[in-house]
Amino acid sequence: MAVKDYLRERFFPHMWCPGCGHGTVLNALLRAVEELQLNKNDIVMTSGIGCSARISGYVDFHSLHTLHGRALAFATGVKLSKPDLKLLVPMGDGDALAIGGNHFIHACRRNIDITAIIMNNRIYGMTGGQFSPLSGPDKKATTAPYLTIDAEFDIVEVSKAAGATFVARSTTYHVKEATEMLKKAISHKGFSVVEILSQCPTHYGRKNREGDAVQMMTGYRDNTAKLGSKALADNPSLIPRGIFVDQARPEYCQEYDNIIAKASRNRAA
Amino acid sequence: MTNPIKFLQGNEACVEGALYAGLEFFAGYPITPSTEIAEHLSQRLPEQGGKFIQMEDEIASMCAIIGASLTGRKVMTATSGPGFSLKQEAIGYACMAEIPCVIANVQRGGPSTGNPTHVSQGDVNQARWGTHGDHNIIALTASNHQDIFAITVDAFNMAETYRTPVILLLDEAVGHLREKLVIPEEGELAIVDRLRTALPKGVDYHPYLPREDGRLPMSDFGGDRRYNVTGLFHDMWGFPSNNPQVVRDLLRHLIDKIDNNIQAITRYKEHYLEDAEYIFVSFGSSARSAIHLAKSRRDRGEKIGVLELQSIWPFPAEMVREKCRGAKAVLVVEMNMGQVMAQVKAAVDEPGRVFLANRIDGKLITPEDIKKLLRVIQGRGV
């Protein structure tokens, strides 16, 4: 199938601003789904609220556009109820780690087979440019006219600490790399997190003098480096990209099947 | 075959009713005084291949059952007090996206953390208006275990029929009380299964286009029909829309699908109501005291009866008006500051004859409490 066969063209044009990175993430995600030859009927895309969350309307999967921060909780219900389904959960940084932070860490801990794609643009775009828990200090935002004083989360470190069994990071500049990571994440049996740095030239870039979309993407090229690369060794202040965790741990729905087996034996006895 | 006669808690009667109705998925979070519902389901559901999950919080458990419902399962959560407050956001989502689900709220004293281990009926209005925006809801209640069982079955049936969240408004006293329950035989109570689309493959399915009778056939996630579900106002494909006509039509549909069926939804019981001059309107554990008092007064020849409400929302105003017509006085017996009384006053021909017999200190209202007010109203002194 061609990538466009995965889109609901009826619902286009999309609502993202010119230069937004989220369309690139959608592109990488659909290519991953295509290359894995997944059946559209087997995929449920569950999203929360925000610019990133609107992605679920544009794809021709089962789509569940839910509440701000709560996508993973809805997805957990879908997955545990019907474990054969593939759950893809695109999220924004505020969606995933501010209002949805509790659901996020517990999905990691539970190791339920869901893929979380965190489109990190370090800002609340849909509401007009307020700082997020990923903005970091000394940033300008509509709610930080005197610059932010909040420290930022590191999504990779939070995911690792909370127990995610697959954790990766890429950027919209490295779209082929992102596609490969998404393929591995979707194929991984357990909770997988892929952080994709995604530019918001409209709100974040403009206010923080990071330039237009091209300049922001060039920034991803210049300010990141592959895990294990010489560039990263020479300059540890660069943001590392790559697969940080890829490990096997019992998956939640499979473990629950064991509970059912145990409970049925109890009942029979 | 297991013995159909049980001696158990009201919360367990709710569990038995839910399983009889076909519950397959439960998500919850520990909270007093509803926890026994989760505890018993954690054992019972996997025994029959169903799923139980303890989520990270009240919000998540409400969200999880909505997700599971979309895969075609009958779903439920249970909570109390603050947990009911936390679930309101997702209850609104289920109203808007029309997802069948049942929420048991075993009421305790509030506001806030309130009186966790003591009885109250203070969530009547929250059940109706807890989530933001205009919407409609069904809330059911019962005063004894046999009725809790039956009304729980009704709750699932109505959730599926009207594609709506249904609130089971129980309370601490009846939830923790132990008494007899006889489990009905299979087939004794009607079970409503989900209406699914029968459209042949290749014909466009419009998930949010109501049929003439207002019902919307569903399609399970994982099937051939791929569609969008959202909490935004949406068109017949489920796609977000702020077109004024679409917004108005959808809101009207959400209200009308329940209001137009109020007679089918209304549940109540009459106790000694025929020829009654004094009527107690009550529900839940309060109704037990009202019935007790009415019976002892009847034995002495006084014309006193009880109208026991088992459906509170949509409020059966016409029925209440009819039953209370001609009464010398109507005493609304409830454990709150008059939440049902306000509805009764609005419903009856002579609201000046409606009085509140309440108790709000965490103790179960007694026949003696009601008797004191009755004496005053009857002009027999304090």
* Domains assigned to chain A: 18-268 (3.40.50.970)
Of A11, A41, A78, the CB nearest to B68: A78
The strand order across the sheet containing A62-65 reads: A224-226, A239-246, A166-171, A192-197, A114-120, A86-92, A43-47, A62-65, B228-230
Q: Is B98 helix (H, G, I), strand (E, B) or coil?
A: coil
d(CA B57, CA B114): 19
Residues in chain A closer than 8 A to B230 (CB atoms):
57, 65-66
Name the residue among B338, B334, B327 with its Cα closest to residue B281: B334
Q: What's the CATH number for B5-182?
A: 3.40.50.970
pLDDT score of B1 more than 70 = no
Dihedral over Cα of B91, B230, A109, A197: its sign:
negative
User: In chain B, whose CA is at the least distance from the CA of A43?
Assistant: B222
Shortest CA distance from A101: residue in chain B: B56
Q: CA nearest A104 in B: which residue?
A: B56
Cβ-based contacts of B93 with chain A (< 8 Å): 66-67
Task: Please list the residue range(s) of chain B that carry CATH number 3.40.50.920.
Answer: 267-377
pTM of the full structure: 0.98
User: Is the separation of the CB atoms in B19 and B182 below 8 Å?
Assistant: no
Chain A touched by B146 (CB under 8 Å): no
Report chain A residues whose CB lies below 8 A from the CB of B240: 57, 65
- Residue B52 to chain A, least CA–CA distance (Å): 9
Nearest-angstrom CA–CA distance, A164 and A110 = 8
Nearest residue to B41 via CA among A246, A87, B30? B30
Q: Which of A42, A60, A62 to mutate to test the interface with B (most CBs of B within 10 A)?
A: A62
Provide the CATH number for the domain formed by B267-377 in this structure. Answer: 3.40.50.920
Chain B residues in contact with A64 (beta carbon < 8 A): 67, 70, 221, 228-229
At residue A269, the pLDDT reads 73
CB contact under 8 Å between B221 and A44, yes or no, is yes
Q: pLDDT of chain A along its 269 residues, tens only?
A: 788 899 999 889 999 999 999 999 999 999 999 999 999 999 999 999 999 999 999 999 999 999 999 999 999 999 999 999 999 999 999 999 999 999 999 999 999 999 999 999 999 999 999 999 999 999 999 999 999 999 999 999 999 999 999 999 999 999 999 999 999 999 999 999 999 999 999 999 999 999 999 999 999 999 999 999 999 999 999 999 999 999 999 999 999 999 999 999 988 77
What digits encode the pLDDT tens for the residues B32-82? 999 999 999 999 999 999 999 999 999 999 999 999 999 999 999 999 999
Contact A54, A14 (CB under 8 A): yes
Q: Please say whether the dihedral angle defined by the alpha carbons of residues A46, A48, A50 and A52, taken in this order, is positive or negative.
A: negative
B56/A103 Cβ within 8 A: yes
Q: How far is B1 from chain A (nearest CA, A)?
A: 12
**Count of A-B CB contacts under 8 Å:** 135
B228/A63 CB distance under 8 A: yes
